[in-house]
Amino acid sequence: MNRVDNAPCEPRSSARTSSMRRSKVSSVTVLTCISVVAAVGIQTTGQSAAGAASQTPTKSGFVEPFAGVHRYEKLAPTQVAHSWQINQAIGQRRADEIAKKIGLKKSNVFTKKQYRLFITGRGKGGDRSSAKLVDQSVRILTNTVGRPLYSKIHGKLVPSVLASYGLMVNKSGMLESPANSSAPTRKVNAVIEPGGYLGQWCRANGAKKALRMLYRSAYTAEAVYGNKAQQISGAAQLVANKKVGKSTKMVGMSMVPSIWIVNFALIYTLNPSAAAKMPAKWAPIPRRVAKAIEASSTGQVPYLRYASSLR
C-alpha cells in the first residue's frame, strides 16, 4: 500500500526493517484481497474453492487459507441463524470492538477531513479516478440494509443489497462476486498496492500514522492468507463452507474470515463509520445461484434471472 523503500512506519533496527518490508510486500491487496493474484496463479493451481473443502474445516466451517489467522477468526461474521439477519450491518459498537482486538485505534485513523479529501481525489497529489475506485469499492463492501447499489437494467435503475452473500450487482445488471475481474474491488489493486495512490497520498497529507497502524494490525498477517485464498478460487470467486454434520454452503469471497478482516481493517482505517456498515453475518448463496455463477466462464449471471432467489 506504500512503497517499501520509503515506508512511513520504517523501524530503526535494520533487522526489523527487513522483517517489516517483507510483511508489507505480502500486503499487496485490494479491498477484498481481490487482485492479489494473477491469472497465471489460478491456472497453475488447478484447484477450486470446492476442492479446497476436502481439507479439515475450522470451527467456522472454512478451511485454510480462507479461515485465516486462528485467533482472529472468531471476529469475522458467522453464518446467519435467521433470515432477518441477512445484510444487516455490524454497527459502530461492534466495529469498534473488532478494531481494538485486531490492533486498530480510533484515534489514529484518518480524520474526517482526510477521508473526505482522499475519497474525492483532492488533497496533495489527489487523483479523482483512483479515488473513485476506492469509493466504489467501499460502497460495494458495505452494501447492507439501507445502502443499496443501483444498476441500470432494461433502462431502469434496480437496487440490490447482497453483502451478506458476498455478491454484488454491477452497473450493467450482472450478478457476480466482488472478486470478479470486472469489479471496482479488483481494479482498485493498483491504487492501494505498494507505491500506489493510497501510500503516496498518506505521505503527502499527514496520514502516515494511520498507515503505520494499519500495517501493524491483523491486516498484514491476514493478507497472506487472503493472497493464497485468491489463488484457488477460479473465475467464480466463491468459497465452500462445510460445518460438521451439515451440507456444504457457498458464499462469495468477500465474506470469508481472512478477507473480511483485511477489508474491515482497511475500511476502518479510512472511516470507522463506514466499517460499521459492513455485513455482520454471512448468508449461503442459494444453490441454483451458486451453480450458475460457477458454470459461467465469466463468473457472472444476469441478476434479474436470479433475484427472486436472493432475499
- From residue 86, alpha-carbon distances to 7, 56, 72, 240 in Å are 40, 27, 22, 18
| Residue 86: domain span | 4-309
Q: How far apart are CA 172 and CA 277, in angstroms?
A: 24
**Three-class SS state of 33:** coil
Total structural domains within the chain: 1
* Exposed / middle / buried, residue 178 (Cβ in 10 Å: 0-12, 13-18, 19+): buried
CA 307: distance to chain centroid? 23
Grid coordinates standing for 259? 478477507
Residue 301: phi and psi, rounded to 5, are -140, 155
Q: pLDDT tens digits, the chain, 311 residues: what are they?
A: 322 223 333 333 444 444 444 444 333 333 444 333 222 222 222 334 444 444 777 888 999 999 999 999 999 999 999 999 999 999 999 999 999 999 999 999 999 999 999 999 999 999 999 999 999 999 999 999 999 999 999 999 999 999 999 999 999 999 999 988 889 988 887 787 767 888 899 999 999 999 999 989 999 899 888 878 877 888 899 999 998 678 899 999 999 999 999 999 999 999 999 999 999 999 999 999 999 999 999 999 999 999 999 97
